[in-house]
């Protein structure tokens, strides 16, 4: 977890941009929950995706929790989006960024919605301790040859954040995913 007194140094050293709302909540030690942005860009139809994103954040704010929707916009990892950022994720065609894609996006100056793994890493770097998502990635059906596993599993295992989720995505091999998570 980052030292709250050094958030500006973190942003300067990593290139992460944090919203004033999220920075203030972390500095004041108020609750913050990270939210992925892939659900907005790829998981829901337009225009319901933007409405849902606003609703997700409103539910948290109503409970006196600061939402930190995470994405990469124009190469810069963003922790906490303003209305324009949410609209961009909802409307613009965007790639999905896994943790392994973050350096490539930075180098190429691209934008992307973050998956569970990328959101986990960026939230951790920002000092956020709780992440909520609809579904986790895992082992894909028929993944034994070639083996196909989401980066979510390894990132979950190595990132000290509490994750609240409805479970794994329905397109996955649930049994194999649970087995990998146990190992």
**Residue of 86, 121, 84 lying closest to 101 (CA atoms):** 121
User: 85-114 in b/e burial notation, b at 16+ Cβ within 10 A?
Assistant: bbebbbeeebbbbbbebbeebeeeebbbbb
User: Would you state the structure tokens that stand for residue 79, as one six-digit string?
Assistant: 């922790």
In the 8-state DSSP scheme, what is residue 44? S
Q: Which of 5, 11, 36, 179 is catalytic?
A: 36
Degrees to nearest 5, angle at CA 100 with 113 and 136: 60
User: Would you state the structure tokens that stand for residue 48, as one six-digit string?
Assistant: 């319901």
**Could you confirm whether 5 is annotated as catalytic?**
no
**Could you confirm whether 27 is annotated as catalytic?**
no
Q: Which of 57, 169, 179, 182 is catalytic?
A: 169
**Residues catalogued as catalytic:** 36, 169
């Amino acid at each position: 977890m980052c030292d709250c007194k050094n958030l500006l140094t973190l942003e300067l050293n990593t290139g992460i941009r944090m919203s004033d709302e999220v920075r203030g909540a972390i500095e004041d030690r108020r609750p913050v929950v990270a939210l992925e942005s892939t659900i907005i860009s790829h998981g829901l139809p337009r225009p319901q995706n933007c409405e849902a994103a606003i609703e997700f954040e409103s539910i948290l704010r109503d409970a006196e929790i600061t939402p930190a929707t995470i994405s990469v916009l124009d190469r810069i990892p963003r922790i906490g989006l303003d209305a324009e950022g949410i609209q961009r994720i909802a409307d613009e065609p965007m790639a999905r960024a896994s943790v392994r894609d973050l350096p490539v996006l930075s180098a190429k100056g691209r934008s992307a919605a973050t998956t569970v793994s990328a959101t986990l890493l960026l939230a951790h770097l920002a000092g956020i301790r709780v992440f909520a998502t609809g579904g986790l990635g895992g082992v894909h059906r028929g993944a034994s040859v070639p083996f196909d596993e989401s980066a979510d599993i390894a990132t979950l295992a190595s990132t000290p954040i509490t994750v609240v989720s409805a479970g794994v995505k329905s397109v996955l091999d649930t049994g194999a995913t649970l087995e990998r998570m146990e190992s």
